[in-house]
């Protein structure tokens, strides 16, 4: 079945460092891909998404490009801030949008 694999955490970085969180997927058809973020004490929020190959999703300085050839959707940010400390989930959905399939989540901790 469809699945998402993302890198194990925690990821610990200093402020202004470059961030990459790897995400690869297995799916039939052409899924849409998502990154969600969960800040401490809050619900998951959609961070960015891409709906077709080569699309780049971006938001709040984060980017991810839908790579069909490598079945990847890696999350990147050029300069992280302490406020980016959170858990990040990669996810995909089927074409009907009736279900979300998540990765295990990666905890990011940024120190000043």
State the minimum distance, in angstroms, from the CB of residue 74 to another protein: 18
- Residue with Cβ nearer another protein (92 or 110): 92
Residues at the site binding another protein, with contacts judged by CB under 8 A: 4, 32, 34, 36, 38, 41-46, 49, 89, 93, 97-105
State the minimum distance, in angstroms, from the CB of residue 15 to another protein: 26
The residues that bridge with 110 in the sheet, in sequence order, are 13
CA separation for the pair 96, 107 (Å, rounded) = 29
CA separation for the pair 11, 31 (Å, rounded) = 27
């Amino acid at each position: 079945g469809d699945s998402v694999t993302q890198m194990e955490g925690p990821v610990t970085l200093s402020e202004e460092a470059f961030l990459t969180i790897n995400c690869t997927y297995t799916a039939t058809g052409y899924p849409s891909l998502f990154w969600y973020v969960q800040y401490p004490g809050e619900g998951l929020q959609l961070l960015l998404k891409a709906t077709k190959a080569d699309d780049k999703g971006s938001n709040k300085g984060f980017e991810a490009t839908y790579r069909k050839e490598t079945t990847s959707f890696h999350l990147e940010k050029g300069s992280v801030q302490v406020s980016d400390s959170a858990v990040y989930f990669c996810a995909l959905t089927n074409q009907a949008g009736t279900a979300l399939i998540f990765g295990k989540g990666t905890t990011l901790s940024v120190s000043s």
